[in-house]
């Protein structure tokens, strides 16, 4: 049996002033080494769930356990093992790639030698070595997206959270990012991924959970779900379970 690295138990979230829960009793297990997709329409609860798992916000009720399944998780103790790449650019555009990685590496308490080693390694892999001393505000969208990823993995996290990691990039950047993520996963990094790109998610994710109105609708191994529900692709599966109505 695969070892569980995240266990989510009856998780709920209600924002102040709201009459309905954004998450409604979510139960989910994510195993070490998974490429786990959390998919659903706008407003389904994906980003709320990821934000709680990363310790960015607190749940209203329920529990999240990491690895040792202690009663409560102290995020200060496990922050070094977690990486988060948000949909928005989480970087300083007036600085260079080297300066950004020096800053974020220091936040994770890496030594100057380790920061230099990781900076050279990551920028080379992501095709940013030639621009490492140029200000990021001169970069294309695809280059900024790759830089966003570089910052999220500077400290070599065991678990990597990705919220729309390829949104707004060209085909070449998308291929490069996904290839790099697959390499990370092959070396043991567990990846939790959200996206609206169902074709990309179908190709990348080994496990899936569909969420809508704050509830997990279905979950399981990607190929098995497609076979079980007799659909040709993930787009059809998502539409069958969430409908065609407009979402805000």
Q: Is residue 130 part of a domain?
A: yes
**Does the residue 248 lie in any domain?**
no
225's tokens: 């779900």
- The model's pLDDT over 62-76, given as tens digits with 9 standing for 90+, comes to 999 888 665 455 666
Residue 155 belongs to a domain? yes
Range of the domain at 161: 4-242
Domain-embedded: residue 51: yes
Domain count, the chain: 1
CATH code for the domain of 163: 3.40.50.300
Tell me whether residue 121 is in a domain: yes
User: Burial code of 126-155, b = ≥16 C-beta within 10 A, e = fewer?
Assistant: bebeebbeeebeebeebbbbbbbbbbbbbb
Q: Is 16 exposed, middle or buried (0-12, 13-18, 19+ CB in 10 A)?
A: exposed
Specify if 247 maps to a domain: no
- pTM score: 0.91
Kindly state whether residue 201 falls inside one of the protein's structural domains: yes
Residue 195 lies in a domain: yes
Beta bridge partners of 30: 6
Strand, helix or coil for residue 25: strand
Per-residue pLDDT of the chain (248 residues; tens, 9 = 90+): 678 999 999 999 999 999 999 999 999 999 999 999 999 988 889 989 999 998 889 999 999 988 866 545 566 677 789 999 998 999 999 999 999 999 999 999 999 999 999 999 999 999 999 999 999 999 998 899 999 999 999 999 999 999 988 888 888 888 888 999 999 999 999 999 998 889 999 999 999 999 999 999 999 999 999 999 999 999 999 999 987 665 55
């Amino acid at each position: 049996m695969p070892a569980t690295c995240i266990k989510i138990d009856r998780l709920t979230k209600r924002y102040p002033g709201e009459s309905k829960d954004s998450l409604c009793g979510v139960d989910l297990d994510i195993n070490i080494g998974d490429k786990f997709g959390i998919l659903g329409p706008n407003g389904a609860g994906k980003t709320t769930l990821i934000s709680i798992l990363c310790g960015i916000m607190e749940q209203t009720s329920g529990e999240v356990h990491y690895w040792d399944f202690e009663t409560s998780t102290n995020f200060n103790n496990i922050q070094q093992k977690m990486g988060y790449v948000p949909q928005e650019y989480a970087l300083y555009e007036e600085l260079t790639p080297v300066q950004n990685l020096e800053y974020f590496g220091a936040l994770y308490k890496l030594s100057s030698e380790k920061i230099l080693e990781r900076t050279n390694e990551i920028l080379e892999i992501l095709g940013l070595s030639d621009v490492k001393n140029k200000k990021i505000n001169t970069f294309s969208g695809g280059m900024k997206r790759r830089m966003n990823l570089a910052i999220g993995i500077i400290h070599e996290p065991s678990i990597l959270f990705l919220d729309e990691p390829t949104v707004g990039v060209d085909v070449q950047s998308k291929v490069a990012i996904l290839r790099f993520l697959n390499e990370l996963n092959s070396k043991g990094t567990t990846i939790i991924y959200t996206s609206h790109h169902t074709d990309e998610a179908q190709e990348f994710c080994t496990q899936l959970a569909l969420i809508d109105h704050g509830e997990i609708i279905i979950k399981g191994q990607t190929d098995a779900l497609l076979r079980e529900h007799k659909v040709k692709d993930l787009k059809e599966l998502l539409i069958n379970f969430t409908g065609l109505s407009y979402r805000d």
